[in-house]
Amino acid sequence: MNSLLVRLEADGVQADVFAYADDLSILKHIETTQEMLEFYHILEIIQAWAMEYDMIWSAAKTQRLVFKHRGCREPRPPRLIWFNGVQIMPMETKSLKTKCVSLGIIISKSMMFKEQLTKVENQLKSLKTIMSRFFHNKTEELMVKFYWTYMVPIQIYCCQVWQPMSEAQLKPLNNAIASYWKMNKARGRNGGPPDDFLEPSLHFILLDLIFVHKIYKGMSKLDFNQLFKICVSNTRQATEQLLMRPKWRLQFTKHKLSFRAVTSFNFLPPGTRELSPALFKKAARTHILENREDYLNMTRNHNIIGHKKNQAPNPEPNNKLKEKKRLNIDKFYPNQTGFATGKNTINRGAKAWFPYFKPKPPTGTNPSPMDGNNVVNTELFQGELQGKKVPLCLRRLQ
């Protein structure tokens, strides 16, 4: 495959060609007839290279995807393209509704990767079902090993490409992982993750930081200066060597790595980016745990200011609620029908509702049906009933 890339580069083709193992991807803008002829010239070079090595390209495995802006109509019908005598139909159209899959990633023509997010969500739910059904003694140690062995690889596979760093789109993944950790009864009746756990939204930010740091240190094939720009003006941003956020015109541009990673990378403490990769990973993870809400606000459309999850909750409000509930339940008073409790109490300040509990009266205090409180005035009766205790059911005889 390397010899093919060298041949295409030597020919000076006007297209972006990417190869991995035995997969080849060609990205070409086709609008005019001249651009169409240039694309067919690339296909001829590929076929000639395959014949030299006694190979044949599989037209059945060839996928074609015509990209478009989300919510916009195609300016023209897709052109007809033939390869090895077979017409290659574009995907996500009326004639061919299947999705394009490259190296396990579902790529949509709008470049929003919603289908990939749904695929990851379903895989996480299936693994959660396996843990729920086939493991009886679910200790925290077992759940942590199962999570990092089976669930984390599904989340992080090529996540720098498809994860949008948007709370609205990542909420299904967060809910699927939260449902998994509810089975961890070592954290209480309602379960919960370990103390140093990062939900998918924060874990994706950590992976973006590590990936950008490798590019910054020159440990990647990607050029840092092509993806990011460091501020050089006479401002505070230039003094702290902060990254500049690129201008964007289309909505999907905000979800690219070169845009979404700028805010989180600039939020790191000064001098962190100069650390070695091992130390940078530990420092970035610690900073995310200490500033959890600030990093979560980077994934939201609006900031949320309030109680931070990484702080220990104040036990005073809970104690007050328990005391009010106890006082409300113990508030019994006798009346004409026996014992009763107070009415339902709604504490609007604490936003809590205490249900109505009707306790059983103490033993020996049940009033008899013939007690004075349960009989009628018999002075109004004449004859045999006069002066005798009559049950309440005979009130109609008055």
- Give pLDDT, residue 343: 43
Secondary structure string (H, E, C) spanning 375-396: ECCHHHCCHHHCCCCCEHHHHH
Q: What is the mean pLDDT of residues 182-204?
A: 92
User: Looking at per-residue confidence, does 241 or 330 come out higher?
Assistant: 241
| pLDDT > 50? residue 325 | yes
Q: What is the mean pLDDT of residues 235-242?
A: 70
Angle CA 257–261–263, to nearest 5: 145
User: Rounded mean pLDDT of the chain?
Assistant: 78
Whether residue 144 contacts residue 195, with contact meaning beta carbons closer than 8 Å, is answered with no
Whether residue 13 contacts residue 28, with contact meaning beta carbons closer than 8 Å, is answered with no
Domain spans of the chain? 2-107, 114-297, 365-398
pTM value > 0.75: no
Q: What is the mean pLDDT of residues 183-205?
A: 92
- Give pLDDT, residue 99: 84
How many angstroms separate the first and last alpha carbons of the chain? 108
High-pLDDT (> 90) share of the chain, %: 26
Give residue-wise pLDDT tens across range 254-265.
888 888 999 999
Token pair 């001829």 in the structure block, residue: 44
Q: What is the per-residue burial (b if ≥16 Cβ within 10 Å, else e) of 94-104?
A: eeeeeebeeee
- Give pLDDT, residue 348: 43
